[in-house]
Amino acid sequence: MTEATADEILEPMGRPSGKWLAVVGVSGLGLLWFLYAWIVQLRSGLIVTGLGDWGSGGGISWGLYIGTFVWWIGIAHGGIAISAAVRVFKAEQFEPIARIAEVLTVVALMMAATNIVFDLGRPDRLFNTLINWPQTVTHSPLAWDIAVVTLYLVLSVTYLVLTLRPDLHAVRDRVPRYLRPFHRVLTLGYTPDEDEKAEQMAWWLAVTVLALVPLLSGGVVPWLFGLIGTQPGWYGAMTGPSMLAESLTTAIAMVIIVAAAFRYAYDWDFIDEDVFIGLVKVLAFLALATLWMLLHDTLSGVYLAPTAVEALTFALIEMPLFQIALGGLVVSTLYLIAVILRPQLLHVGVLTVVSVVVSFSIFSKKLIFVVEGLLHPTSPPLTNLYLEGSYSPTWIEWTLVLGSIVLAVFMFAIATKLIPMVEIDSEQPTNTTTPTEGNQ
């Protein structure tokens, strides 16, 4: 395994490279377009979306924004998956990408929340949910969601800062001068004596966040849908497990994409084939789990199923987007299995494309899940008496959703200028401040 040197790790924080400027420039322009679209929506209201009232209205209440919210929540599990692998399960091969994955978690959670804000009719009243939270948490799945997402965000940020402090202290004399006040705030009260305690705390934090995973993508998020008996397309106990499998799949795919991007941008060879082969194994397993869950869902939906469920499942199977998503997932899984059997087939470029396909397939699957349930709502006789729903997202919706991806890229680009994106420890004997047994 190639060791990362402090010079390599600190390189992104120095002079902006051409690639970095290009990323910031393009994503910055994208953000201007995104802001314009958002202002249009804020001024005119949600009428500029393709959403509508289900029932006599013939529309659907939730669409692209909620689907994207669910997708981002899933991606947020990438950080904890890698951190837990490194800290809790001692899979040290993933150490070079641990911090990248943690930053991805924080960014993804913020983008998930942003998509919820897009979806609100009165975003200015967002904090009403917090004011009334003590009462609503007893009954509203959305209040549970707010609780778990907030907890997840707080714990993730704490974990990130806790593991960042020794690094910032170690490189305090080598970072650009303008960053030092910021770093001094983050390392407030730091002494090398705290490292052992901090490492223990990080371990416990990783375990806690790990325990939250089945409560987030396998819990409160699917419960937003799976508990609603009104919507035959949503209701069911399988919603949680299958959404968890999908979420973890897209999380690992996104970790691969981001890791490959950093390797490409900074020639970081220490993010080596070991890292990618390890990720491929995990991704292949998760993609198979997702396909297996899908098999359960579709088979139970077509074989002697209740008529409403059967009609829904056939409508699903006939959707072109569903076929694309399924095809993408199957082809990707075949490639991943091939790489596991013959590691020489690994090509980081191809793997990145495959990961994009996986991530897009899961995005489509989640979007279909949200939309399809609402296109065929409620039960007979009402479902027959109402208009069948229709939905085509407007350019504003596409812009805001893509905007959240562009914003994530932009935030990543900024983060590389603010903090070291790889954990610095034992490979720098002169600066070593964390000689803990756990990491050796």
Partner 1 sequence: MEQLPETPPGPDDPGWDERVAGTLEEVDFDTDLGKRMAEDAFRIADGELSKAEFHERYTDAVEAEFGVDERPTKSALETRGPERDPLPKVPDDREQTRRNVLKALGGVTAAGAASLAGCVDDTGDSDPPAQGDDDGIIDDIPHETQLGMVIDTDRCIACLQCSEACKQENKTSQGAHWTYVFRWSQDPEADYDDEHDDSMTRPCQHCTDPSCTYVCPTEARFKRDDDGVVLTDYDLCIGCRYCQVACPYGVNYFQWGEPDPPEMADDGIRDSLHKEEAFENDHFEHDRTSRNDRTVAGHPPEGVMGKCTFCVHRQDSGDPDLEGTTACEQACPVDAIHFGDINNPNDDPQQHLEERPDLDRTQLLEETGNDPNIIYVGPQPSRNAQPVQGPQSYENLGMTEHRREAIDDRFTQEGETDD
Judged by the rule CB under 8 A, the positions of this chain that interact with partner 1 are: 40, 44-49, 51-59, 61-62, 116, 119-123, 125-126, 128-129, 131-132, 135-136, 139-143, 146, 224, 228-231, 374, 377-382, 384-387, 390, 394
Distance CA 118, CA 111 (A): 10
Kindly tell me the sign of the dihedral angle through the C-alpha atoms of 14, 15, 19, 22: positive
Least distance in Å: CB of 371 to partner 1? 12
Q: How far apart are CA 416 and CA 414, in angstroms?
A: 5
| Minimum CB distance to partner 1 smaller for 94 or for 144 | 144
Give the tokens for residue 23. Answer: 């990323």
Residue whose structure tokens are 């969601």: 145
Q: How far is the CB of 106 from partner 1 (least distance, A)?
A: 24
Beta strand spans in 145-280 (E): none
For the packed helices 95-119 and 141-170, what is the interaxial angle rounded to 10 degrees?
Answer: 140
Q: What is the rounded distance in angstroms from the CA atom of residue 118 to the CA atom of residue 121?
A: 8
Rounded to the nearest whole angstrom, what is the least distance from the CB of residue 406 to partner 1 in the complex?
22
Nearer Cβ to partner 1 (90/122): 122
Least distance (Å) between residue 400 CB and partner 1:
15
The upper half-sphere exposure of residue 104, i.e. CA atoms within 13 Å in the direction of its Cβ, equals: 30
Nearest partner of 146 among 72, 53, 220, judged by Cα: 220
Residue 235 or residue 285: which is nearer to partner 1 going by CB?
235
Which residue number, 65 or 159, has a Cβ lying nearer to partner 1?
A: 65
Closest CA to 246 of 269, 227, 222: 222
CB 170 within 8 A of CB 133: no
Q: Tokens for 164?
A: 């960042």
CB of 383 to partner 1, least distance (A): 9
Nearer to partner 1, 48 or 289 (CB): 48
Which of 283, 293, 148, 136 lies closest to 214 in space, CA to CA?
148
Closer of 48 and 353 to partner 1 (Cβ): 48
Closer to partner 1 by CB, 392 or 430: give it: 392
CB of 234 to partner 1, least distance (A): 8
Nearer to partner 1, 41 or 163 (CB): 41
Question: Which CA distances in Å does 169 have to 63, 114, 150, 193?
Answer: 46, 33, 28, 12
Q: Report the C-alpha gap between 332 and 355 in whole angstroms.
A: 8
Which lies closer to partner 1 via its Cβ, residue 136 or residue 332? 136
Nearest approach in angstroms of CB 186 to partner 1 is 34
- Read off the DSSP letter of residue 426: T
Separation between Cα atoms, residue 409 and residue 402, nearest integer Å: 11
Smallest separation, CB 294 to partner 1 (Å): 23
Distance of CA 107 to the CA centre of its chain: 8
Q: Which is nearer to partner 1, 26 or 142 (CB)?
A: 142
Question: What is the number of residues in the chain?
Answer: 440
CB of 24 to partner 1, least distance (A): 29
For residue 390, the minimal CB distance to partner 1 (Å) is: 7
